[in-house]
Amino acid sequence: MTEDLFREDSHLLQCEARVRRDDAGGIVLDRTVFYPQGGGQAGDAGVLRDAAGRERVVVDTRKGEAPGEILHVLAADTAGEPWPEGTVVTAVVDEARRRAHMRFHTATHLLCALVPHPVDGCSITAGYARLDFHMTDPLDKDMLTAGLARLVAEAHPVRHRWISEAELDANPQLVRSMSVQPPRGQGRIRVLEIEGVDLQPCGGTHVSNTADIGAVVVTKIEKKSARTRRVVLGFAPQA
């Protein structure tokens, strides 16, 4: 298992780690700050650097085949000679990309609070976020943008905590997503709380206050199917 430091601290963007495996598939470390693609959120990019200053570029992060293993996927031109097992490296996440993920991801929680319907699809990238709601009523773009602006301006604290699987079983309404079920088998489930706004299981990375989301706008609402409304978010152009 790779120790997943981003789970306790989304703001930690650098750590020292030891190489466990380095092959054609990518690099596995004993611990990492890199978030692997999952729960709709894109994987992190960044660099790994050894003590001699050799840098290798990580273009994506994925879950490995073994449970709990995190795979750093390298750019083809920096794959090269593998590092021996045990090599100490510094792992540095691409901050701009991760900040965008954190802002959009937290904004999707606000959207969940504004649109009280089950979610049946989600995608969070550095350029946009989209959320599919299982519903038939029309949605209003400007009303949702105004609602997001209000919740951002209200500066609600954002924090995570862990609950037991039994607690989750007793509160099934916490699960908003129809497509992604919280991971079980570890005995505990990570829940994300936006004080007074939203509470649901989530393993992603978030900003620590809704004010840090900044200006987001609903760029598009699509009728994806008879029973699905897709909401697409973008960052407001800088003034």
Which residues sit at the interface with Zn ion, rule CB under 5 A? 192, 202, 204
Residue 58 beta carbon to Zn ion: minimum distance, rounded to whole angstroms: 22
Q: CB of 17 within 8 A of CB of 2?
A: no
Distance CA(111)–CA(22), nearest Å, equals 40
Residue 54 or 188 with smaller CB distance to Zn ion: 188
Determine the residue with CB nearest Zn ion: 202
Q: CB of 123 within 8 A of CB of 105?
A: no
Residue 196 beta carbon to Zn ion: minimum distance, rounded to whole angstroms: 16
Nearest in space to 100 (alpha carbons), one of 223, 202, 235: 235
Residue 29 or 202 with smaller CB distance to Zn ion: 202
**Helix (H) or strand (E) run with residue 171 in it:** none
**Helix (H) or strand (E) run with residue 66 in it:** none
Residue 101 beta carbon to Zn ion: minimum distance, rounded to whole angstroms: 10
Distances (CA, A) of 61 to 34, 189, 209, 225: 7, 22, 26, 31
Residue 108 beta carbon to Zn ion: minimum distance, rounded to whole angstroms: 7
Residue 105 beta carbon to Zn ion: minimum distance, rounded to whole angstroms: 5
Q: CB of 73 within 8 A of CB of 62?
A: yes
Residue 159 or 220 with smaller CB distance to Zn ion: 159
Residue 25 or 38 with smaller CB distance to Zn ion: 38
Residue 2 or 108 with smaller CB distance to Zn ion: 108
